[in-house]
Amino acid sequence: MYTSFRGVIMDRIIFHIDVNSAYLSWEAAYRLQKQVNCIDLRTIPAVIGGDESKRHGIVLAKSIPAKKYSIQTGESLFSAREKCPSLTIVPPNYKLFMQCSNAMVAIFKEYFPLVERYSIDECFLDYTGMSHHFGSPIQFAHHIKNRIQKELGFTVNIGISTNKLLAKMASDFEKPNKIHTLFPHEIEEKMWPLPVRDLFMVGRSTNTKLLRLGIYTIGDLAKTDKTLLYSHFKSHGYLIHAYANGLDDSTVKPCSPKAKGIGNSTTISFDVTDSTTAKLILLSLTETVCMRLRDSKMTAKMVSISIKSHDFISLSHQMQLTEHTDITHNIYKAVCTLFDEAWNKTPIRHLGVRISSLTSNSNTQLSLLDFDKDNKYTALDESIDKIRLKYGNTAIIRASFLHSGINPLNGGMPEENYPIMSSLL
């Protein structure tokens, strides 16, 4: 709720727009546009999936016919194929996905000064006070949905309500290509009968615990005593209780305020059993992370690594640097120390590098002791960044990667000389 200039309390009108099976729809629309007489992936059991030979073989998006075989996003392609042997599997094309996402956002920006890009395929819009210009919320939702379908070739669901949570829940109702409202007076009828797992922020683990407590539907949760929920879920209990009752006072925000951290990680196509190889992969991850850091004009003080072993046991280790930096060499030194301290010699499946405690690079002070050395490294990083910007990421690589068989820049989109997706959002 907010007070208008006349002092009248008005309900907000929030839209949540969600692309139906985003990756799959985008690929399908692209193929239809490029090729004549080709089959629409949305009409057959099909998924977008990673490369199994690289151990990236999971379902990233599924068609509605694939969903009928109970194929789930995130499950292995191996098990998806078991459920549906005739399944069509298509690799992801992240460049295309970014273009489709950007094209959709461009349409929203024709009407809305403020678009919250919640993810690559979801946006929140604030329609409050706009009925005057564009008609009733439902009329406008039809207009914008039809425009996207006609001009971009894919469908969206639109949820309409008085806050973001309810709008998001509404867009998740029947799909595809549908508009739903979930106003407060409709909560009891439309949201409370749903399984509690369908509520935003009730994940697998919370769901299991709720079922054990005899809480099966969102309505059950809404009517559960808050203090009981607190005793089992701490502050998360209060959150899901409020959500089950349709309460959310967060506002539609312009893009992402500022990143709290930058990280890249990779699943390696083989198990790594020696520290030389592991550190080479960590270097490639550090390079990408640091390029993104410098690109965002920030410096970092916290460095963390993560290791997932061949048997899927994860661990992480972190350390604070003595001062903020954006120098690849200095961050890599910390990464190596962390790895040596953390690795217990079990074969490694996955490695990650993440930096946080970010601050603007304009207020970073150089250490007096290392002043000359740091200046040299800063100049080196700068020239490398420039060359890569101008001639591509493979134009200059560290000698240690030569003949190593390891990608010199790891993280972001595999196989593509393309900027990191999240940094474009």
In this structure, the chain runs to a length of 425
Tell me if 205 contacts DNA by CB under 7 A.
yes
142-152 burial string, b = 16+ CB within 10 Å, else e? eebbeebeeeb
Tell me if 422 contacts DNA by CB under 7 A.
yes
Helix H or strand E segment including 304: strand 298-309
Backbone angles phi, psi at 24, to 5 degrees: -70, -40
Catalytic positions: 122
Tell me if 251 contacts DNA by CB under 7 A.
no
Tell me if 315 contacts DNA by CB under 7 A.
yes
Tell me if 200 contacts DNA by CB under 7 A.
yes
Tell me if 304 contacts DNA by CB under 7 A.
yes
Tell me if 234 contacts DNA by CB under 7 A.
yes
Tokens 């990083």 identify what position?
381
Helix (H, G, I), strand (E, B) or coil at 131: helix
Q: Which of residues 331-390 bind DNA (CB under 7 A)?
A: 342, 350, 352, 354, 356
Longest dimension (CA), the chain: 71
Q: Which of residues 102-131 bind DNA (CB under 7 A)?
A: 118-122
Measured at the alpha carbon of residue 176, what is the angle toward residues 139 and 133, in degrees to the nearest 5?
Answer: 15
Closest approach, Cβ 136 to DNA, in A, equals 27
Q: Which of 266, 299, 330, 393 binds DNA (CB under 7 A)?
A: 266
The amino acid occupying position 340 is D
Tell me if 170 contacts DNA by CB under 7 A.
no
For the chain, the straight-line distance linking the first and the last C-alpha, in angstroms and rounded, comes to: 29
Q: Which of 201, 211, 387, 424 binds DNA (CB under 7 A)?
A: 201
Angstrom distance (rounded) from CA 101 to CA 95: 10
- Please choose, out of 26-34, 39-47, 68-76, 393-401, the segment that lies near DNA by the rule CB under 7 A: 68-76
Backbone angles phi, psi at 169, to 5 degrees: -60, -40
Q: Which of 273, 320, 360, 367 binds DNA (CB under 7 A)?
A: 320
Tell me if 420 contacts DNA by CB under 7 A.
yes
Tell me if 167 contacts DNA by CB under 7 A.
no
Judging by beta carbons within 10 Å of its beta carbon (0-12, 13-18, 19+), is residue 226 exposed, middle or buried? exposed
Tell me if 260 contacts DNA by CB under 7 A.
yes
Interacting residues toward DNA by CB under 7 A: 50, 52-53, 55-58, 60, 73-74, 76-79, 118-122, 168, 200-207, 234-236, 259-267, 292, 302, 304, 311-312, 314-320, 342, 350, 352, 354, 356, 411-412, 420, 422-423
